[in-house]
Amino acid sequence: MKKEHRQHTWLRLFLWAHAIGVAIFYIALWLRTAPARDEQRSKGSWQRPGTKNTHEGQQSTSAVAEDFVSIIVPARNEERNIRRCVTSLLEQVYPHFEVIVVDDDSTDGTAAILDEIARLHPQGNRLRVLRLHELPPGWAGKPHALHAGVQEARGNWLLFTDADTWHAPDALRKSVKRATEENIDLFTLGSRQELPGFWDRVMMPMAYLGISMQYPSRLVNDPNSQVAIANGQYILIRRSAYDAIGGYARPDLRSTLLDDRDLAHVVKENGFRLRFVDGRDLVNVHMYRGLEDAWRGWRKNVFLGSRGGLAFILLELIGLPLVSIAPFLLPLLMPVFRRGKVEASILTLLELGPLLAYRMWIDAALDVPWYYAFTHPLAGAVFAGILAQSTWRILTGKGVDWRGRVYYQTQPEEHTEFSGSELH
pLDDT (tens digit per residue) in 289-317? 899 999 999 998 889 888 878 888 999 99
23 with 153, same domain? no
Q: Give a yes or no: residue 403 inside a domain.
A: no
Q: Strand 157-160 to strand 192-193: parallel, antiparallel, or no bridges (unpaired)? A: unpaired
Residue 54 has a pLDDT of: 36
Asked if 105 contacts 186 with a C-beta cutoff of 8 angstroms, the reply is no
Boundaries of domain holding 310: 7-33+200-213+301-395
Asked if the model's pLDDT at residue 61 lies above 90, the reply is no
367 with 305, same domain? yes
Q: Give the chain's length.
A: 424
Asked if 376 contacts 357 with a C-beta cutoff of 8 angstroms, the reply is no
24 with 157, same domain? no
| 260, 287, 314 - which closes a domain | 287
* pLDDT average, residue stretch 106-126: 96
204 with 306, same domain? yes
Collapse the DSSP code of 192 into the 3-class scheme (helix H, G, I; strand E, B; otherwise coil) and give the result: strand
Q: Give a yes or no: residue 418 inside a domain.
A: no
CA distances from 287 to 191, 215, 235, 290, 377 (A): 11, 20, 16, 10, 22
CA distances from 239 to 155, 176, 263, 388 (A): 7, 13, 13, 39
Q: Assign 56 a pLDDT band (cuts: 50, 70, 90).
A: very low
239 with 360, same domain? no
Residue 4: DSSP 8-state: H
172 with 262, same domain? yes
Asked if the model's pLDDT at residue 53 lies above 50, the reply is no
Asked if the model's pLDDT at residue 361 lies above 70, the reply is yes
Q: Any idea what the CATH number is for the domain that residue 142 is in? A: 3.90.550.10
Asked if the model's pLDDT at residue 42 lies above 70, the reply is no
List of residues 6+ apart from 33 with CB closer than 8 A? 212, 213, 216, 217
Gap between the Cα atoms of 300 and 398, Å rounded? 12
Residue 407 has a pLDDT of: 85
Residue 330 has a pLDDT of: 76
Question: What amino acid occupies position 114?
Answer: L
Q: Give a yes or no: residue 61 inside a domain.
A: no
16 with 84, same domain? no
Gap between the Cα atoms of 187 and 235, Å rounded? 6
For 57, list phi and psi in degrees, rounded to 5. -60, -40
Q: Give a yes or no: residue 62 inside a domain.
A: no
80 with 138, same domain? yes
Q: Which DSSP string do the residues of 66-81 spell out, in sequence order?
A: T--EEEEEEESS-TTT
Number of separate domains in the chain: 2
> What pTM value is reported for the model?
0.88
Residue 58 has a pLDDT of: 41
186 with 329, same domain? no
Q: Give a yes or no: residue 294 inside a domain.
A: no
Q: What percent of the chain has pLDDT over 70?
A: 85
Q: Give a yes or no: residue 111 inside a domain.
A: yes
255 with 112, same domain? yes
269 with 306, same domain? no
173 with 150, same domain? yes
Q: Assign 422 a pLDDT band (cuts: 50, 70, 90).
A: very low
Q: Which DSSP string do the residues of 218-258 spell out, in sequence order?
A: HHHT-TT-------TTSEEEEHHHHHHHTGGGSHHHHT-S-
Q: Give a yes or no: residue 76 inside a domain.
A: yes
Q: Give a yes or no: residue 55 inside a domain.
A: no
